[in-house]
Amino acid sequence: MLTLWPGTASSPAMSGADAVTTVPPASYAAAVCGAIATVHTNTLASQASLQQTAQAFQVQPSSATASQLRQALVDSLTRVRGYFGDVVTALKSAGVPAERNGARFAKALTKHLQAAIAAVDPLVQQAKKIDVGSATRFSTTFRRVTARLDAISTESKAQAREDPAFQHVSPTLHPIVVYLTTSATTCPAS
């Protein structure tokens, strides 16, 4: 059985400048999962654009198409970073789920996503430095960036699995945890 915050849902969890609105857990989950679904949709569009540029490179590999692919990767990473920034903004607007450890969960979720965003920043810089001078150097430096992106994703999931705030959550918040800790690209239906 869930223990709700003292007071009614939608009441401030704290007072003063740090006041946060508590909301029903289902409303919080809907807001967060809605923001995540938007990220997924936007990321798919960004990936499609990147894939189109990669196909052009494969058809006609050259320094020019390598430069275009490098820029497409930089643009894609920058956009995805922005999409996750939008999720953080949505989290702050969503309030705090009015349940036991709801504030802890919301704070950990925001912190986790901010850390993932911060991990992308050096990756954008690394992508900007992909060497297009030769096919071998291009391939090697491009693969390093994509390998690091995969590693960031794996590390992020592992960190979320280990975070006590994401363990033993209510069934309403569980889809968010599944998104954070697995290869799910959106919140699964609860």
Q: What Cα–Cα distance (Å) separates residue 151 from each residue in 36, 70, 78, 116, 190?
A: 21, 19, 18, 11, 28
What is the spatial distance between Cα 98 and Cα 95, in angstroms, rounded to a whole number?
Answer: 9
pLDDT digits (tens, 9 = 90+) for 8-34: 333 344 444 455 789 999 999 999 999
pLDDT greater at residue 187 or residue 69: 69
Q: Tell me the domain boundaries of the chain.
A: 22-181
Over residues 182-186, the mean pLDDT reads 88
Over residues 30-43, the mean pLDDT reads 92
Q: What is the pLDDT of residue 186?
A: 86
In 3D space, the residue among 51, 107, 118, 50 whose CA is nearest the CA of residue 84 turns out to be 118
In 3D space, the residue among 165, 83, 93 whose CA is nearest the CA of residue 120 turns out to be 83
Over residues 151-175, the mean pLDDT reads 94
- Kindly tell me if the per-residue pLDDT of 137 is higher than 60: yes
Q: What is the mean pLDDT of the chain?
A: 87
- Judge whether 65 and 97 are in contact, CB under 8 Å: no
Q: Would you place residue 6 in the very low, low, confident or very high pLDDT band (cuts 50, 70, 90)?
A: very low
pLDDT digits (tens, 9 = 90+) for 66-114: 999 999 999 999 999 999 999 999 999 999 999 999 999 999 999 999 9
What is the spatial distance between Cα 159 and Cα 13, in angstroms, rounded to a whole number?
Answer: 27
